[in-house]
């Protein structure tokens, strides 16, 4: 199963756990950390916990630490990417005990060392690992409307919507053509300046902005991009300008699709290409596509599935079951999010799809 998917599910589960007091223990062991020093620290914290006044809290913290010590004894050295330990009494009923321990090997190198007792687990470093490493600014405009949005992972987030009072191309009677054109051009410039100012402020808030995609119908997108409207530091980040047919939300989505050539390594395009490959095989009846829980499971057990596509909307138990079968046959497992149009299509097909290695008679 996809490691980040498993981590995401676990983080969501741990986030819901709340302690009655500062008795939930979080320990982060960074990559390369001497494990003996970590074991000694936790043993020392267990001794210190004997000074906690509340008998219940003292017992809960000590038990959690004992579980961690027992877990760490299984390791001779710190795992390559480090490790994270969570432990505590997670019972939701007063007076009842349910001590649990989670030992996590993160999918990326961990550089955080932390020990904390709190009423909730410390999850921020793991959440950061789940976030897309880079983001793209999206800017869609014509002379009438503009949208500023953010592409991060598979999420498209609208940040700003704007509209203008720019006059239409054709003047009413009683006004000279030259004067009308001059006024219209001034209105367009003011609107472009407004777009540039607001887009710049939006982009200032985005960490790891890899590039900016610009799109729109007609010449407005080029006029804006080539003009002095966007702050220079962001103008230099424009990596593509695409001709699209819409503005607004539909235009933003169309811009992402049309920018596949520059986004080919990004998660949203990888998911789109996978689902598209499945749908193409399904449409041309090549015999290399199957869908539906029973059909996909049958083909999976035959070892006939090259790529397994599972919707993130499925129950976790189902995803685990199919992933385990896939592991036996070297099948590539892909968990498809629901944020994209392709993800929605997969969900509506039942959430189970497969691209086959060979035709099934």
> What was the pLDDT predicted at 141?
97
> Coil, strand or helix: which one is 190?
helix
Asked whether 329 and 355 are in contact (CB, 8 A), the reply is no
* Nearest by Cα to 97 from 123, 118, 69, 67: 67
Q: What's the pLDDT score for residue 126?
A: 95
CA-nearest of 53, 54, 47, 91 to 69 is 47
Alpha-carbon distance of 318 to 310, in angstroms, equals 9
356 and 290 in contact (C-beta within 8 Å)? yes
Residue 174: predicted pLDDT: 54
- Asked whether the whole model's pTM tops 0.85, one would answer no
Q: Where in the chain is the domain with CATH 3.30.960.10?
A: 3-130
Instruction: For residues 159 and 201, give the distance between their C-alpha atoms in angstroms, rounded to a whole number.
Output: 10
User: 260-269, pLDDT tens digit by residue?
Assistant: 999 988 888 9
Helices (H) and strands (E) in the chain, counts: 13, 13
Does domain 135-263 fall into CATH 3.30.420.60? Answer: yes
Question: What's the confidence (pLDDT) of residue 3?
Answer: 79
Residue 36's contacts (CB-CB under 8 Å, 6 or more residues apart) are none
* Token pair in block for residue 132: 């897309």
Q: Are strands 155-163 and 99-104 parallel, antiparallel or unpaired?
A: unpaired
- In degrees, to the nearest 5, what angle opens at C-alpha 150 toward C-alphas 139 and 11? 175
pLDDT reported for residue 314: 94
Cβ atoms of residues 152 and 133 within 8 Å: no
Helix (H, G, I), strand (E, B) or coil at 356: strand
Which CATH topology does 267-356 take? Answer: 60s Ribosomal Protein L30; Chain: A; (3.30.1330)
Which residue from 337, 341, 333 is spatially nearest to 296, judged by alpha carbons?
Answer: 333
Q: For residues 286-313, b (16+ Cβ closer than 10 Å) or e, as one string?
A: eebbbbeeeebbebbeeebbebbbbbbe
Task: Give every residue of the chain whose pLDDT is below 70, as ranges.
Answer: 1-2, 170-175
Closest alpha carbon to 297 in 228, 352, 253? 352
Phi-psi region at 22: left, alpha or beta (left = phi > 0; alpha = psi -120 to 50): beta
Strands (E), the chain: 24-29, 83-89, 99-104, 114-118, 135-141, 145-152, 155-163, 209-216, 238-243, 289-291, 305-311, 332-336, 352-356
Q: Quote the pLDDT of residue 25.
A: 96
Model pLDDT for residues 293-326, shown as the tens digit of each residue:
999 999 999 999 999 999 999 998 999 999 999 9
**CATH architecture of the domain with range 3-130:** 2-Layer Sandwich (3.30)
Adjacency order of strands within the sheet including 289-291: 289-291, 352-356, 305-311, 332-336
What is the H or E stretch that residue 298 is in? Answer: helix 293-301
Q: Give the residue range(s) of CATH 3.30.1330.30 domains in the chain.
A: 267-356
What pLDDT, on the 0 to 100 scale, is given for residue 286? 87
pLDDT value of position 167: 73
The Cα–Cα gap between 114 and 45 comes to 13
């Amino acid at each position: 199963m996809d490691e980040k998917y498993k981590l995401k599910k676990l983080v969501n589960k741990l986030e819901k756990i709340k302690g009655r007091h500062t008795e939930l223990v979080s320990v982060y062991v960074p990559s390369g950390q001497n494990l003996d020093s970590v074991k000694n620290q936790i043993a020392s914290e267990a001794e210190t916990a004997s000074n906690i006044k509340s008998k219940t809290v003292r017992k809960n913290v000590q038990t959690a630490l004992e579980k961690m010590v027992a877990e760490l004894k299984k390791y001779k050295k710190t795992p390559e990417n480090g490790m994270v330990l969570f432990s505590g009494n997670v019972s939701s009923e007063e007076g009842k005990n349910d001590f649990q321990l989670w030992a996590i090997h993160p999918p990326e190198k961990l550089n955080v060392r932390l020990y904390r007792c709190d009423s909730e687990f410390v999850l921020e470093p793991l959440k950061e690992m789940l976030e897309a490493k880079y983001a793209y600014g999206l800017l869609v405009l014509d002379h009438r409307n503009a949208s500023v949005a953010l592409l991060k992972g598979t999420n498209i987030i609208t940040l700003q919507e704007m509209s203008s009072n720019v006059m239409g191309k054709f003047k009413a009677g009683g006004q000279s053509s030259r004067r009308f054109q001059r006024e219209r051009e001034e209105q367009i410039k003011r609107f472009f300046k407004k777009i540039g100012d607001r887009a710049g402020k939006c982009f200032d808030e985005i960490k790891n902005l890899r590039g900016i995609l610009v799109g729109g119908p007609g010449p407005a997108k080029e006029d804006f991009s080539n003009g002095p409207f966007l702050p220079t530091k962001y103008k230099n980040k424009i990596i593509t300008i695409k001709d699209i047919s819409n503005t607004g939300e539909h235009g933003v989505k169309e811009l992402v699709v049309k920018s596949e050539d520059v986004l080919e390594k990004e998660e949203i395009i990888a998911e789109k290409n996978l689902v598209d490959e499945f749908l193409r095989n399904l449409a041309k009846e090549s015999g290399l596509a199957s869908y539906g829980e029973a059909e996909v499971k049958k083909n999976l057990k035959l070892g006939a599935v090259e790529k397994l596509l599972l919707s993130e909307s499925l129950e976790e138990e189902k995803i685990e079951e199919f992933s385990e079968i896939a592991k036996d046959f070297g099948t590539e497992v892909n968990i498809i999010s629901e944020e994209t149009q392709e993800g929605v299509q997969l969900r509506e097909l039942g959430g189970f799809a497969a691209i086959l290695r060979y035709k099934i008679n």
